[in-house]
Amino acid sequence: MNKEINILNHNFKNPIIPASGCFGFGYEFAEFYDINVLGSMSLKGTTLEARYGNPLPRIAECQAGLINAIGLQNPGVDKVINVELPKLEKFYSDKVIANVGGHSIEEYVEVTKKFSQVDKICAIELNISCPNVKGGGMAFGTNPDVAYNLVKEVKKVCKKPLIVKLSPNVTDIVEMAKAVEKAGADAISLINTLVGMRIDLKTARPIISVNKGGYSGPGVFPVALRMIYDVYENVNIPIIGMGGVSNAYEVIEMMYAGASLVMVGAANLVNPFACKEIINQLDEVMKELKITDLKSIIGKSHNCNK
């Protein structure tokens, strides 16, 4: 059975990739298992300068997932390149995806320019969809014209394949996808978190310090699946699916809908072995569904309607 997916000028040994923000810089998980089994990983969202993130509390549990408002806490791009990536190199031999955040077009451009010089990076994921930062993030990802201009400027300096991560918190996800494709995106990843909140019943105050945050986990899977399906019908670039994935059956569903690769996010926070278990389960599910080559099933649901 063939699990390899070749896109973005890179051969991914399997489609399973830990999503940005849910796997740190990767090497922490090497304490639990050999992370070389992963198809790749998307690094923690990185900005030009170090960020502390939002005040505590910034996590709230939900019945079908969790809400986070971490606020892009990270050590800054130079430290990621000079400290975090060399640490990761000791545990993971393949190339990884850098995730870029920013307050301004200029910041996105500068961080992208720096990551473009790093051999360990196989692609750059532009996060225009983070719902829990005061400036930047989702502010760039809810207006197609703004998103177009950002991607167009970043593309001028980006020397790696450029993935644009879209927000589900929009009226028309297809319009956003078309805008970033037109601006030069090489792939689209979706969905990032929905906006949600929880309230403390004893105090009547929102639990999260900044009131709202990004809702992720099993509850968002059907929303993510529908958006992947719709975007696949309207763009000609690869899609990386994510949103509530917790088992290999859901990976196959996302690939049927149109995803070439599948990122696993919140499941890693509940079970540090999640990605490894999904990869192991993938062989069994492929055998059960009589799938011999994963490449052949990408977008299969769309052919069923013709």
Q: Which helix (H) or strand (E) holds 285?
A: helix 274-288
CB 155 within 8 A of CB 114: no
Residue identified by tokens 């072995």 is 273
- Marked catalytic residue, from 22, 130, 158, 275: 130
The alpha helices in 116-258, defined as continuous H runs, are: 144-157, 173-182, 221-232, 248-257
What is the C-alpha R_g of the chain?
Answer: 18
First to last CA, the chain: 27
Please confirm, yes or no, whether 62 is among the known catalytic residues: no
Six-digit token string for 148: 């177009």
User: How many Å apart are CA 176 and CA 160, to the nearest integer?
Assistant: 22
Q: Identify the bridge partners of residue 61 per DSSP, sorted by sequence position.
A: 66
User: How many Å apart are CA 100 and CA 12, to the nearest integer?
Assistant: 21
User: How many Å apart are CA 257 and CA 226, to the nearest integer?
Assistant: 8
**Residues whose CB is less than 8 angstroms from the CB of residue 69 and which lie 6 or more positions away in sequence, other chains included:** 54, 58, 59, 132, 208, 209, 210, 212, 213, 214
Half-sphere exposure of residue 16, counting CA atoms within 13 Å on the CB side? 28
Q: Catalytic residue numbers?
A: 130
